[in-house]
A and B are shown apart, each in its own frame.
Chain A
Amino acid sequence: MISVYYFGAISLILIGLYAVLVKKNLLKILIGLSIMETGVNLLLISIGYVSGRSAPILSEGIGPNQAVDPIPQALVLTAIVIGVATTAMALSVAMLIYEKYGTLNIEEIRRLRG
């Protein structure tokens, strides 16, 4: 039986990918990208989970043997920041596109061809 965490995370990735591939509105595509990134982060976190253990902070009553894997948490922290930076970049480019083309429909944004 596949764990619900893995199933949920991979479903989020696939939902995001679906939105990127199918939607025509640029903002919806960017929302899809964000959903995908969230799914990837959840997948990373759930890989480090060890059933029944607590957060990896060294404090009273919790030793190194009672903590979950701390490495994926560092990875996700980095990946979240990168995701936010990419989204901010994409949104500012989307604003520029709306200014220049007057539309966000990707079928009408095609000046570069050939």
Chain B
Amino acid sequence: MNGQYASLLIALPLISAFFVPLIKGAGKNAIKSYLVLITALQTGVAAWVFQEVYSTGKPMIVMAGGWKPPVGINLYIGHFAALFVLIVAAVSFLMAIFSFKAVNVEPIDKYAMLFLLLMLGATGMIATGDIFNLFVFMEITSISAYALTAYNKTGEAAEASMKYIVLGGIGSSFFLVGVALIYGALGTLNMAQIAQLASTLNPTVAQVGLALVVFGLAVEAEIFPLNAWAPDAYQAAPHPITVMFSAFVVKAGLYAMARIVYLMKDVGSWSSILKLLVILATLTVIVAELAALRQRNVKRMIAYSSISQIGLIALAFALGTQSGVDAGVFHMINHAIVKALLFLAVGYVAVALGGAEMENFRGLGKRMPVTAFTISVGAIATVGVPLFNIFWSKIRIILATLSVGYTWAAALVLAASVVEAVYYFRLLHVIWFEGTGERMHENMAMGIMLLFLAALVIVIGVYPSYAWNLAQKAGNDIFNVAQYVKNVPLMGVGA
């Protein structure tokens, strides 16, 4: 089949978002079923793209309007993008099902539209090959994220959303200044051509431009000084949206950051940017873990834990070596699965028992055994116990860190893991050994989704080689810039 059909990944959610108002009259459940249908279709398209890219080993290049890059905008769906587009679509599909139970606040039609736009934005950020187009998709993602954070219309939700808007607004302004500097110096916005011309760039301009771009993306990617919005937004947003934030919105930001940083590999001042990123990433891990330790709200606690895992991924990307990038991508896959599982289960408990306070988790093992079991699987996996998937990616990140010589960073990250173990095992203790209660009825669909994700965690944990293989190919897509440039059919225009 023609590779241009991959543009359906963007077109399908966009068109279906426009059709939501038309079926609004058919009632609440019609809209929710429509959401399930569209995300299932999107998962199908993504699975086809994934299959195509991994079986041929060649990336799919979509050229908008038939204009060759760098004149037209191109989508570059390489190994990384194919994998993550599939993860985005699959997580959205699960969340569309979860929305039946978790979202009861009106207006549901606006929720469905924003949901689809959030999925569209993240897909676009991962697939695009143009730096300004990246900005546009980032804004689509973040504006729908602002609106979805405030969706519950409580005071807390409005407050969280406002923090996110102000930080996100500053971040996107800085990103745009960075894009302006890079464009002013090179005269191109296409990523492949930027990589080609990077060595001719004035080191000072490159350093300032790159720093501004990284700063702008760090808001979306939740790197340390700019992540204050994240725990609030995670706590106040509707439960399915929290899962989407943690499973792929952040990942899209991180990937964009890694992509742009590695495009500029030939620039003279590159290593100083990397050093800065290593320091910020290590701080992200430590600060978030210490903050998680004293939380009473379980959803907020897991939000902090999610931020610290993101710091770990950022650390792996900032090492500047092949093994580091591979390990980072592997951790991204694992973390998307585990955090989807944890937020889904905690969200379900909050829906069923009214709130995610620690009190509600007392005796959960007796009241909701399936949910409690899957929370336990997620918690143990996050800490990094062998035979669960995160163990393999965490150990690879630490080995990669040691091989570059950042012993202090590896030691601090490991120390943070101990803190992580403390609060997760405290949660497990509350669930299994405290309180009592009657057994409650658990929803079938929820049980199946939770058990599926838990099974995925354990299967990857026991047989990591298939997922590790995928991660290596995807990591090569980010790290090997020469190959990336060669894959994009650049017209000989301009410089």
Contact = CB atoms under 8 A, between A and B. Distances in A.
Interface of A: 13, 16-17, 20, 26, 29-30, 33, 36-37, 39-40, 43-44, 47, 71-72, 75, 78-79, 82, 85-86, 89-90, 93-94, 96-97, 100-101, 109-112, 114
Contacts of B180: 40, 43-44, 47, 72
Interface stretch (B150-158, B328-336, B403-411): B150-158
A114 B154 contact: no
B148 to A, nearest CB: 11
B156 A111 contact: yes
Interface stretch (B18-26, B41-49, B291-299, B471-479): B291-299
B296 A114 contact: yes
A53 B209 CA distance: 27
B161 interface: yes
Interface string B261-296: 000000000000000000000000000000000111
A75 B232 CA distance: 32
B173 A37 contact: yes
A114 B292 CA distance: 9
Given A89-B146, A100-B154, A17 B170 contact: yes
Nearest to A37: B173
A40 B136 CA distance: 15
Nearest to B164: A93
A100 B295 CA distance: 25
A89 to B, nearest CB: 5
Contact of B159 (A33, A37, A75, A109): A109
Contacts of B297: 114
A86 B160 CA distance: 15
B162 interface: yes
Given A17-B170, A89-B165, A112 B183 contact: no
17 contacts: A20-B170, A30-B166, A36-B169, A37-B169, A40-B180, A71-B183, A72-B180, A75-B179, A86-B165, A89-B147, A90-B162, A90-B165, A93-B165, A97-B159, A100-B155, A110-B159, A112-B156
A51 to B, nearest CB: 15
Q: Size band of the B side of the interface?
A: 35 or more
A19 to B, nearest CB: 11
A31 B177 CA distance: 19
Contact of B139 (A43, A82, A111): A82
A86 B169 contact: yes
Interface in B164-212: 165-166, 168-170, 172-173, 176-177, 179-180, 183-184, 189
Nearest to B163: A112
A47 B183 contact: yes
Given A79-B135, A109-B159, 15 more contacts: A20-B166, A40-B173, A40-B176, A43-B177, A44-B180, A72-B180, A72-B183, A78-B132, A89-B143, A90-B146, A90-B162, A90-B166, A96-B158, A97-B162, A101-B159
Given A40-B173, A89-B146, A29 B158 contact: no
A32 to B, nearest CB: 9
B162 A93 contact: yes
Instruction: Return the 10 tightest CB-CB contacts between A and B, nearest first.
Output: A100-B155, A96-B158, A47-B184, A33-B169, A97-B158, A90-B165, A82-B139, A112-B232, A44-B180, A36-B173
B288 to A, nearest CB: 14
B294 A112 contact: no
Contacts of A75: 132, 179, 183
Contacts of B32: none
Nearest to B154: A100
A73 to B, nearest CB: 12
B155 A97 contact: yes
Contact of A93 (B136, B161, B173): B161
Contact of A40 (B150, B160, B161, B177): B177
A110 B179 CA distance: 35
Contacts of B251: none
Interface string B109-120: 000000000000
Contacts of A71: 183, 189
B139 to A, nearest CB: 5
Contact of A100 (B158, B177, B236, B294): B158
